[in-house]
Amino acid sequence: MTNLLASGIGNVILSVLLAVLILLAMICVHEFGHFIAGRILGFKINEFAIGFGPKLFKRKGKKHGTLFSVRAFPLGGFCAFQGEDGEEAAPDSFNSKKPWQRIIVLVSGALMNYLLAVLLIIVGFFSFGQPCYKMGAIAENPNYAAEYSLAEGDVILGIEGKTAYFATDLIYALRGKSEGDKVTVEVLREGEKTSAQVILRSDCNFKNSSEISKLWRALGSDTYKGEDGNLYWCVTSQNVRFSFFGTLGRSFVYSFKTAGAIFRVLGELLTGSLSISAMGGPVTTIKVTGAIASQGLQSFLQIAAYIGVNLAVFNLLPIPALDGSKVIFCLIEWIFRKPIPRKVEAVIHAVGFVLILGFAVIVDILQFARC
């Protein structure tokens, strides 16, 4: 009993450490993107810090005078530009630079996140292959002939001419179709690529991209009872290898699809087709990230890439306090040749920051309420 408890605690600690490592690395890469762009364009950078709180280590650069520091709490980092939060007359201060230069600096953080995510995807695909859905046991139903059903062991590569990277690709390919409709599914069957004609076993009236159960029911998957007593679909994952250029191309498409899935979820949240309780705040993010990352190197690479794309997309949204909103302010200044008063902009960003924190807390509370 004691050994089991110790093992459980050890797994939790490992998961949390892996999650913090991924988030810290992604945030530092983001800030490094700002730093590199700022340095190239001649911005004065006061400090580049890893973490928050008291300084554990610091060193000042001799050439540019930038302070490099490592702080006590490894929950992020920052790149502090001279005059970023107010008026500054010095020519190398942030707000003294031209709007297009500031825009480049602002988007460089998200760009670095995205490029790192693509690199992680490429490494994962070349090392392990692309994860694809593999059908397990197929539900027995006398109303559907075997020749018009998927077979146990089929690996789904695409459906209705659309390549399958995520379950959402399958959902959107089948959306609106009805029980009894025949669809073409590209599969890998016994090592050979083939096309299967499949009759759908239920309506595909998906309300949002999270309705995975409707998808597998329509495709005929059977279920099994887990150790916790819950029913699960007989669908697993199998890595599939492609040619060199095929793998490279699929890596980039996978990154685009990841970004697209994030925008799709945001759209569903705005339209009300997806509940806010389906989201996760900081605590939930760390919990889920750590749990996935601890499953092995491939899972670690996958979740790190997803977090990287997520940070890139989220930071470019036009929400006050985020880089995207700062880009909007720069564009307004560029178009009208006059900036919005810096104090007004600072207040808007401060309010936005508070709202984002409050929203994150509410989302986590809703998640815990569901448990």
Q: What is the pLDDT of residues 55-64, one digit of tens each?
A: 999 999 888 8
What's the pLDDT at 19? 80
Going by C-alpha positions, the residue among 302, 303, 299, 301 that lies closest to residue 286 is 303
Is 108:37 a contact under the CB 8 Å cutoff?
yes
- Token duo for residue 368: 């815990």
What residue type is 238 in one-letter code?
Answer: Q
For the ranges 7-11, 105-109, 293-297, the maximum mean pLDDT occurs at 105-109
Residue 190 annotated as catalytic: no
The proportion of the chain whose per-residue pLDDT surpasses 90, expressed as a percent, equals 52
What's the pLDDT at 146? 83
> φ, ψ for residue 157 (rounded to 5)?
-105, -30
Look at 342 and 370; give whichever has higher pLDDT. Answer: 342
Going by C-alpha positions, the residue among 171, 119, 96, 69 that lies closest to residue 304 is 119
What is the overall mean pLDDT for the chain?
87
- Dihedral sign for Cα 93, 97, 99, 103, please: negative
Mean predicted confidence (pLDDT) in 206-224? 89
Q: What is the pLDDT of residues 108-161, one digit of tens each?
A: 999 999 999 999 999 999 999 999 999 999 998 888 888 889 999 999 999 998
Confidence of residue 4 (pLDDT cuts 50, 70, 90): very low
C-alpha span between 256 and 24 (Å, rounded): 23
For the ranges 32-36, 290-294, 351-355, the maximum mean pLDDT occurs at 32-36
Mean predicted confidence (pLDDT) in 78-82? 91
What's the pLDDT at 369? 64
Going by C-alpha positions, the residue among 334, 317, 345, 286 that lies closest to residue 18 is 286
What's the pLDDT at 42? 93
Coil vs helix vs strand at 107 = helix
Confidence of residue 87 (pLDDT cuts 50, 70, 90): low
Confidence of residue 10 (pLDDT cuts 50, 70, 90): low
Look at 280 and 267; give whichever has higher pLDDT. Answer: 267
Question: Domains, the chain, ranges and CATH?
Answer: 131-240 (2.30.42.10)
Q: Which residue among the candidates 31, 84, 186, 345 is catalytic per the annotation?
A: 31
